[in-house]
Amino acid sequence: MKKPETLTKYTNSEVTDLDWGNLSELEDAMKDKRKAISESKTPKSQIKRRPDGMDYVEEGYMRHMLDQLYPIWSWVSTGHNPIQILGSEYVVATGELVISDEGITRRFHSTGAARIQYKRGTPHTIENMIDLDKNVASANTFAFKRAINRLTHISDDVYRKVIELIDLKDSEIKKFHKIIKKIKDEDKREEVLLWFAEKAENTVINQKNSEEWLDKMMKWVEELNDKLNKPENKKENKKGEK
C-alpha cells in the first residue's frame, strides 16, 4: 500500500501556535491518512483463520505496516504491574502504543490475555506451569495488535472496523435533480422526484453506483420526453386542458 502523504513540517511544540487555517489543514491530512489506511485491503496471504472461524492477522504483518506508516512509535509498559496472573488460569499484559502522527503524539492503552498452560493431568499450580514466558508473550502480542488496529486502523477490514458511508452527497443529489427537472410533464416530474428521494434515502442509489444511475436517468428522461412529444400524446394533453 502506498504511504499516504503527510505534513511533516509540524511538531508538537508548533501545534499550539498554528493559526486555525493551518490546524484545519493538519486535521484534514490526519483524517485522509486514517481513511486511506482503514479502507486498504489486507493481503489475503496475511489473513489467518482461527479454529472458531474468526479471521486474524499475525503480529509480524501489523508491526511491518506500523513501521511503514508510523515509523516513529514505541510500545511501553503501563502501571506498576503490567504483567499480572489472574487466579490460576490467565496471564494479562497491559501496554501503551505511542506513535507520532503528522508530528502529533497519539497514544492507546491496551490489554491482552492468554490462558496459562499446565502439564497435562496435573493441578493448576505454579510448579506445573509450562512455558510461562510464551504465555506472557502471547498476552502482550494480543494487547499490541489491538492497540495497532485501534490507534492506526491497520487491518480494519479484518477486524470489522471499516465504516462505509455511501449515502449520496449533496452535489450528487443536485445532479439527479437537474436531470429530473428536464421532464416536461409536471405530474410525471413530481412522481420521479419522489421515486428518487426514496431510492436515495434507502441507499439503493448511492456513491458507488451514482454514475451508473445518472446515465440511466438521462436515458429515461429523454425517452419520456420523446414519448410526450408524440402527436397522439399531444392530442390527449389538449383534451385534458379543455
Tell me what pLDDT residue 237 has.
53
**Model pTM greater than 0.75?**
no
Class of domain 12-152 as given by CATH: alpha beta
- Residue by residue, DSSP assigns 54-78 as -EEE-HHHHHHHHHHH--SEEEEE-
Which residues in the chain land under pLDDT 70?
A: 1-22, 161-165, 231-242
User: What is d(CA 159, CA 6) in angstroms, rounded to the nearest whole number?
Assistant: 25
Tell me what pLDDT residue 178 has.
92
User: What is d(CA 46, CA 158) in angstroms, rounded to the nearest whole number?
Assistant: 10
Kindly give, in sequence order, each residue whose CB lies less than 8 Å from that of residue 22, ignoring residues fewer than 6 positions away: 10
Tell me what pLDDT residue 234 has.
54
Q: Where are the domains of the chain?
A: 12-152, 170-241
Tell me what pLDDT residue 11 has.
42
Burial status of residue 175 (CB atoms within 10 A of its CB: 0-12, 13-18, 19 or more): middle
110, 96 Cβ separation under 8 angstroms: yes
User: What is d(CA 31, CA 23) in angstroms, rounded to the nearest whole number?
Assistant: 12
